[in-house]
Amino acid sequence: SQQGEEDPQALSIQEGENATMNCSYKTSINNLQWYRQNSGRGLVHLILIRSNEREKHSGRLRVTLDTSKKSSSLLITASRAADTASYFCATDAFQAGTALIFGKGTTLSVSS
């Protein structure tokens, strides 16, 4: 099962520009996480935001969470070609023993 939609599905930008990806989910959550996946490679954990947090920063990453709208956004500032990858949000529900449920993902392409 998947939580919901991410938009856009694909995003193409120039180096130095900002990239914003959005994620919506359906159920109550304990936290929401963002992952990056380079083509054909494993998942890299980027950032986690808890349900009682509204915004979190990590380097060039800024994540927001709006639990009333069941949505989150990931902003990558001053993008680089190395940021080219697929980005997924994943939600962790309140119930113990539940798996992360992933959104459909956004494919980001940064050209130099």
Enumerate binding residues for other proteins (CB under 8 A): 1-2, 33, 40-43, 45, 48, 88, 90, 92, 97-105
Whose Cβ is closer to other proteins: residue 76's or residue 101's?
101
- Alpha carbons 32 and 25: distance in angstroms, whole number: 10
As measured in angstroms, the least distance from the Cβ of 99 to other proteins is 4
Whose Cβ is closer to other proteins: residue 76's or residue 105's?
105
34 with 91: CB under 8 angstroms? no
Bridge partner residues of 22 (DSSP): 7, 73
Whose Cβ is closer to other proteins: residue 76's or residue 89's?
89
CA distances from residue 35 to 7, 13, 112 in whole angstroms, order as listed: 15, 19, 23
As measured in angstroms, the least distance from the Cβ of 16 to other proteins is 28
Whose Cβ is closer to other proteins: residue 59's or residue 97's?
97
- Alpha carbons 106 and 5: distance in angstroms, whole number: 10
As measured in angstroms, the least distance from the Cβ of 86 to other proteins is 8
As measured in angstroms, the least distance from the Cβ of 78 to other proteins is 27
- Alpha carbons 15 and 20: distance in angstroms, whole number: 14
